[in-house]
Every structure is written in structure tokens, then in C-alpha cells.
Amino acid sequence: MKNNFLLRATELLTGLLFGLGLMASGMTDPGKVIGFLDLFGTWDPSLALVMGGAIMVGVFAFAVAKKRTTTFLGGVMRVPTSTHLDKRLVLGSLMFGAGWGLAGFCPGPAMVSMADGQPKALLFVVAMLVGMWGFELMERFVHAPRQAKLKAG
């Protein structure tokens, strides 16, 4: 019970911290994101520093996480183990990158910008949720039955 409260509080604070980091770094400004992706125009390298700063800290955290089997609170450590490279990973990422380049929003910054009262960010988030849900439905009603059929056949 006490642990559960601690977990919810940590999640809330981590979400807040993450949102603040996105705002401070400039990720919530699509103009800045597109300025970074615009290699052939006047290039704004800021986002390379965002990634660099985040990974600089992340490398240490994940090095510690990999050596442990439980979290600091004694919970399950869910570090992904898959190393399988497939079509889904590449095609999905290409689609994501195209959308990212078109609007300058990725999921986190779009939702923070929506909470900041930007109407276009709200529109983006609604479309994104429709896309995510659409994917979920395709998985369940098209992909999964097809896989089952292939296995049975």
C-alpha cells in the first residue's frame, strides 16, 4: 500500500520533470525541431544537445539498471531484452520520422504543448491517438487473425 503510493507519486513527479525538460530544451517548439531537421537550410543544432544531455545521464542509469534484477524499491526491473530487427521497426520509424518532419511534433512535446493551450497541438494529439487506436484495431482484427491462420495452415 505504502509502496503503491510511493510509485504513483514518483510517476507523477517524473512526468512533471519530463514535461519541464521538454519545455526547457525547446522540444515543444516545432519551429526548433524543424530547424534541427533542416540540414539544407539554416541549421539549428540545439536538439543534438538535448539528445546528448539526456543520453549522458541515461548511459549511467541504464548501466546500473542492467546490473540489477530489481528496482531501488524492490520492484520488477523491466529492461527490454529483444534485439530482433524487423520490418515493423524500420517502417514504423520511417512513418514516425515523416510525421515528425511535417509538423515538428513528436508524442511527448505535442502533449505538453496541448496542455499549454496550443490548439494545433490538440489537433495533432487527437490525430495521433486516432492513429494509435487504429493501429491497435488493425493488430487485433487484421494482423493477429492472419498470423493465427498462417500458423494453423
Site for other proteins in 5-24 (CB under 8 A): 7-24
CB 68 within 8 A of CB 77: yes
What is the per-residue binding string for other proteins in 106-145, x denoting contact by CB under 8 A? xxx-xxxx-xxxx-xx-xxxxxxxxxxxxxx---------
Residues 48-67 that bind other proteins (CB under 8 A): 49-62, 64-66
CB 30 within 8 A of CB 44: no
CB 110 within 8 A of CB 121: yes
Distance of CA 143 to the CA centre of its chain: 23
Of 81, 63, 75, 107, nearest to 10 by C-alpha is: 75
Instruction: Indicate which single residue of 1, 2, 44, 147 sits in contact with other proteins (rule: CB under 8 A).
Output: 44
Instruction: Indicate which single residue of 1, 2, 67, 79 sits in contact with other proteins (rule: CB under 8 A).
Output: 79
Instruction: Indicate which single residue of 67, 83, 147, 151 sits in contact with other proteins (rule: CB under 8 A).
Output: 83
Rounded to a whole number of angstroms, the minimum distance from the CB of residue 15 to other proteins is 3
Rounded to a whole number of angstroms, the minimum distance from the CB of residue 52 to other proteins is 6
Instruction: Indicate which single residue of 39, 149, 150, 153 sits in contact with other proteins (rule: CB under 8 A).
Output: 39
Report residue 85 as a C-alpha cell: 530487427
Task: Compute the distance between CA of residue 153 and CA of residue 147 in angstroms, rounded to an integer.
Answer: 10
